[in-house]
Amino acid sequence: MTGALTPKRLLAAYAAGIFPMAATRDSTEIHWVDPRRRGIFALEQFHISRSLARTIRRGGFAITVDTDFGGVVRACADRPETWINDEIFRLYGELHQMGQAHSLEVRVEAQLVGGVYGVTLGAAFFGESMFSRVTNGSKIALAFLCHRLRAGGFQLFDTQFLTPHLASLGAIEVSRGEYHRMLRAALSQTAQFDPPGYQPSLSVVAGSVVASAGASAPSS
């Protein structure tokens, strides 16, 4: 894609199956990525281990949505290497103002300790990044996000790439062709990131997916 990058062009890129990344936080250029193998969550197969289910049921944290989008993006970029440069930060902030990008936050005593953000289009959610400042912070965020996406009628949760952390939670890889087929189907439908009356309890989220029978993955 050529020309100035705008929120509208960014959404068109997602609809075409590609997404932007910068080489570093200081990079002034953005390149487009269309992986041969794409990471996704099959929403009904998100794995909540027994230990994570206990952590969720125990509580001691609060879940908020879209209350600090900029804070979540900044926290995701707060690492030695990041693809989030100033332009990407600006663009996703504009998408958030348009209602096309959302954040889910995990808070302990009002402090932001975990979270995830991404873009919505049709019935597709494009996960961009997540962070954790306490044990299981990002896992809790993903558990509540997946439950919300299922409740809102989403059909596709794109994770871009498959990492060991995501694989431990049930993410898989599909081919580029299969991803584009799934994307077309999701874009033909509608979904709601904030379904009316949606207020899940801790026990409902913890028990929403059959717990993984395998050994617990490392916390993060």
Residue of higher predicted confidence among 169 and 3: 169
Q: Residue 43 in contact with residue 150, Cβ under 8 Å? A: yes
Report the percent of the chain where pLDDT is more than 70. Answer: 93
pLDDT, position 209: 59
Instruction: Say if residue 210's pLDDT is above 60.
Output: no
- Name the DSSP class of 43: G
Q: How far, in Å, are 25, 26, 56, 149, 215 from residue 10 at the CA level?
A: 19, 20, 35, 22, 39
Count CB neighbours of 181 within 10 A: 12
Report the percent of the chain where pLDDT is more than 90. Answer: 84
Instruction: Say if residue 196's pLDDT is above 60.
Output: yes
Instruction: Say if residue 170's pLDDT is above 60.
Output: yes
Count CB neighbours of 166 within 10 A: 21
pLDDT, position 74: 96
Kindly state the average pLDDT of the residues 134-154: 97
Kindly state the average pLDDT of the residues 162-176: 95
Instruction: Say if residue 211's pLDDT is above 60.
Output: no
pLDDT, position 40: 97
Q: What's the rounded Cα separation, in Å, for the pair 64 and 66?
A: 7
Instruction: Say if residue 35's pLDDT is above 90.
Output: yes
pLDDT, position 45: 86
pLDDT, position 187: 98
pLDDT, position 3: 54
Instruction: Give me the sign of the Cα torsion angle 205, 207, 210, 212.
Output: positive
pLDDT, position 192: 98
Instruction: Say if residue 212's pLDDT is above 70.
Output: no
pLDDT, position 1: 47
**For 54, what's the count of Cα atoms within 13 Å in the CB-facing half-sphere?**
5
